[in-house]
């Protein structure tokens, strides 16, 4: 039966291409001189604080941008994160990585922005875990072919990804960003968001399936360029 | 295994968190269910595409503005090489 499996479809367990995000993984595990710099920063050495920040800033900004979906808000979040980190530095006990601690502050600031901007109901991370399995079942099932993202120019692709992520409900979006874009573990994500591990897993599954469903409109095989663009515009 | 069971375990399968027996059961289902194969493949692709996004660099004027604000509000006295961002 295995010869029925089309090219490009891997049925092995696990993701195979996560190595492309290795620079982020490096950030999480090998922040240079972290222990020394944190101790110096806590002792009042501003340059040590700045050196720590400069290793993390662009990643913190990406978290802020992906959660808020808005560049101005992301800039504000980055600024508030740095200010809060500086004033709260004395309370950092090294129980997590400095970067994880910083992202946790950024996530809280970003969610404040999202809640404030949202004209709809309040975004709450304490909502019960959804159990409706019927809503999980994919509706659109179409092959994307090999490297569907390569059918788009880089800026066009980036726009599609940003807009698709932005349309995802915040309580799913934040989990997806931390787990799948920033590569935090399920446990780290749960700790950062004050949620249980099962709740993170449940929301991650829904986030992945909803994004897949929406990207399907752009990536399904056989679409020509004009139709792809029309689909992406209609997202 | 039914398709809905596969969907329920999809994340754990993609994250390599299923035990050998469950993974084998799921893989066996994929061998004869084209719809589920497509869902697994396209969900995997969704994650990989987002995983590949690069951190965004801040434009210079934004960096300057943030630096000024932060230095003023934190009261830091930094040399040029130690500037934030």
What number of other Cβ atoms are within 10 A of residue A66's Cβ?
Answer: 24
For A93, phi and psi rounded to 5 degrees? -105, 5
| Inter-residue contact A52 to A31 (CB < 8 Å) | yes
Say yes or no to pLDDT of A17 above 50: no
Residue at A78 is within a domain: yes
Give the integer Cα–Cα distance in Å for A120 and A115.
Answer: 9
- The pLDDT tens digits for A42-80 are 998 888 888 888 888 888 999 999 999 888 999 999 999
User: pLDDT at position A228, please?
Assistant: 54
| Inter-residue contact B85 to A54 (CB < 8 Å) | yes
Q: Which H, E and C letters describe A120-132, residue by residue? A: CCCCCCCCCCCCC
User: pLDDT at position A232, please?
Assistant: 55
Give the integer Cα–Cα distance in Å for B79 and A177.
Answer: 35
- Reduce the DSSP state of residue A43 to 3 states and report it: coil
**Smallest CA–CA separation between B67 and chain A, in Å?**
9
Which of B4, B18, B45 lies closest to A133 in CB terms?
B4
- The pLDDT tens digits for A110-125 are 999 988 877 555 555 5
Residue at A12 is within a domain: no
Which of B35, B55, B58 lies closest to A141 in CB terms?
B35
Which domain covers residue B39, as residue numbers?
Answer: 1-75
Say yes or no to pLDDT of A7 above 60: no
Which domain covers residue A69, as residue numbers?
Answer: 21-117
Residue A107 sits in a domain whose CATH number is 1.10.1740.10
Contact residues on chain B for A209, CB-CB shorter than 8 A: 7, 10, 43
Q: What percent of chain A has pLDDT over 70?
A: 74
Chain B contact for A92 (CB, 8 A cutoff): no
Residue at A1 is within a domain: no
- The pLDDT tens digits for B19-56 are 999 999 999 999 999 999 999 999 999 999 998 777 77
ipTM: 0.87
Q: Which of A64, A183, A65, A170 minimizes the C-alpha distance to A127? A: A170
Higher pLDDT, B20 or B83: B20
User: Same domain for A27 and A111?
Assistant: yes
User: pLDDT at position A119, please?
Assistant: 55
User: Same domain for A104 and A28?
Assistant: yes
B 4-43: CB under 8 A from A = 4, 7-8, 10-16, 18, 23, 26-27, 30-32, 34-35, 37-43
**Smallest CA–CA separation between A181 and chain B, in Å?**
5
Which of A4, A20, A53 lies closest to B52 in CB terms?
A20
- The pLDDT tens digits for A153-171 are 888 888 899 899 989 988 8
Contact residues on chain B for A57, CB-CB shorter than 8 A: 84-85
Contact residues on chain A for B52, CB-CB shorter than 8 A: 17, 20-21
Residue at B9 is within a domain: yes
Q: How many domains does chain A have?
A: 2
User: pLDDT at position A224, please?
Assistant: 52
Which of B8, B34, B47 lies closest to A136 in CB terms?
B8
User: pLDDT at position B74, please?
Assistant: 75
Mean pLDDT score, A14-23: 42
User: Same domain for A153 and A197?
Assistant: yes
User: Same domain for A153 and A211?
Assistant: yes
| Inter-residue contact A98 to A81 (CB < 8 Å) | no
- The answer to whether the Cβ–Cβ distance between A161 and B84 falls below 8 Å is no
Chain B contact for A76 (CB, 8 A cutoff): no
Contact residues on chain A for B14, CB-CB shorter than 8 A: 13-15, 208
User: Same domain for A52 and A104?
Assistant: yes
Which of B18, B52, B56 lies closest to A13 in CB terms?
B18
Give the integer Cα–Cα distance in Å for B43 and B38.
Answer: 8
Mean pLDDT score, A8-12: 39
- The pLDDT tens digits for A173-231 are 999 999 999 999 999 999 999 999 999 999 999 999 999 999 998 888 765 554 555 55
Mean pLDDT score, B42-71: 83
> What mean pLDDT is reported for chain A?
79
Residue at B32 is within a domain: yes
Q: Which of A162, A196, A207, A182 minimizes the C-alpha distance to A102? A: A182
pTM of the model: 0.81
Residue A229 sits in a domain whose CATH number is 1.10.10.10
Say yes or no to pLDDT of A11 above 80: no
Q: Which of A1, A2, A4, A13 to mutate to test the interface with B (most CBs of B within 10 A)?
A: A13
Residue at B23 is within a domain: yes
Q: How many domains does chain B have?
A: 1
- The answer to whether the Cβ–Cβ distance between A141 and B39 falls below 8 Å is yes
């Amino acid at each position: 039966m295995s010869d029925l499996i089309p090219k490009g479809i891997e049925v092995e367990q696990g993701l195979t291409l996560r190595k492309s995000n290795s620079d982020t993984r490096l950030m999480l595990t090998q922040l240079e001189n972290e222990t020394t710099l944190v101790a110096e920063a806590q002792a009042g050495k501003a340059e040590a604080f700045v050196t720590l920040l400069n290793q993390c800033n662009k990643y913190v900004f990406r978290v802020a941008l992906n959660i808020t979906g808005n560049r101005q808000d992301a800039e504000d979040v980055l600024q508030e994160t740095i200010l809060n980190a500086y004033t709260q530095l004395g309370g950092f006990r090294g129980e997590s990585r400095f970067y994880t601690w910083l992202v946790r502050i950024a996530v809280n600031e970003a969610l404040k922005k999202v809640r404030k901007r949202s004209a709809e109901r309040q975004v709450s991370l304490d909502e019960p875990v959804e159990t409706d399995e019927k809503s999980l079942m994919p509706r659109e099932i179409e092959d994307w072919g090999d490297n569907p993202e390569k059918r788009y120019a880089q800026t066009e692709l980036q726009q599609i990804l940003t807009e698709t992520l932005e349309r995802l409900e915040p309580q799913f979006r934040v989990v997806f960003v931390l787990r799948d874009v920033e590569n935090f573990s399920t446990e780290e994500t749960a700790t950062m968001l004050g949620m249980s591990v099962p709740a993170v897993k449940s929301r991650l599954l829904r986030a992945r399936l909803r994004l897949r469903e929406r990207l399907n409109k752009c990536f399904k095989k056989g679409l020509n360029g004009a139709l792809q663009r029309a689909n992406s515009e209609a997202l | 295994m039914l398709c809905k069971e596969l969907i329920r375990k999809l994340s754990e399968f993609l994250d390599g968190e299923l035990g050998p027996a469950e993974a084998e059961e799921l893989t066996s289902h994929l061998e004869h269910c084209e719809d589920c194969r497509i869902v697994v493949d396209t969900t995997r692709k969704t994650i990989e595409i987002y995983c590949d996004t690069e951190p965004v660099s801040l434009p210079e004027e934004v960096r300057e503005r943030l630096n000024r604000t932060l230095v003023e509000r934190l009261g830091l006295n930094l040399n040029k090489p130690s500037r934030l961002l």
